Structures are given as structure tokens and as C-alpha cells.
Structure 1
């Protein structure tokens, strides 16, 4: 999966969890878990060497 598609999929998942939480379909803790997955995805991207961070661009 390309980086752009995975980023859009993550954003769509966060928005859907937030909307479901607003309508009291999901418990409150699910929003926090969804938001805290971003650092996890960044770490996984970094391990795979597909990170788009600014420091990586400067090293090239």
C-alpha cells in the first residue's frame, strides 16, 4: 500500500471513529486509541524506510 493511500485510510478511520463516538455508538476510549495510533504508524513507517520525515529528506 502506498504511503498516500495508507495516510488517507488512517485519516478516514480516525474520522469515522470520531463520528461514531459523537453519536454515542462507540465508547469514549476508542477515540483516544485511534488518535494514539499515529505515532505507532510513524514508527512502523520509519522501520520500513518509507518515512517522509524532514530529517530523512535532509540526509539524502
Structure 2
């Protein structure tokens, strides 16, 4: 489920829908955190950071 949400984040990002992408990355991050998947959590947090930087 977390990987699917992350993939949806990528798709929204490619479509230029930054806010939707961030929402999906955040949902994926929560799942990765809950299952103690540090790499997945870090990957999604990195993607969120990149997108927040684009919103400036």
C-alpha cells in the first residue's frame, strides 16, 4: 500500500499536481513509519522536501 501511494505521488508530481503528490507521499511516509521501514520513510520524506522547495 505504501509503495502504491508513493507511486501515485510520483504520477501526480509528473502531472504538476504538487499538493496532491505531497499528500500521497505523506500517506506513504506514515505507513513506512508504522512498519518501521526506514528507507521507505526516508525516500518519501526526501520527495516531500523536493516538492516543498518547488512550492516556494
**Higher RCO, 1 vs 2 (CA within 8 Å, ≥6 residues apart):** 2
TM-score under structure 1 length normalisation: 0.46
State which structure, 1 or 2, has the greater radius of gyration over its C-alpha atoms.
1
Higher helix share: 2
TM-score under structure 2 length normalisation: 0.49
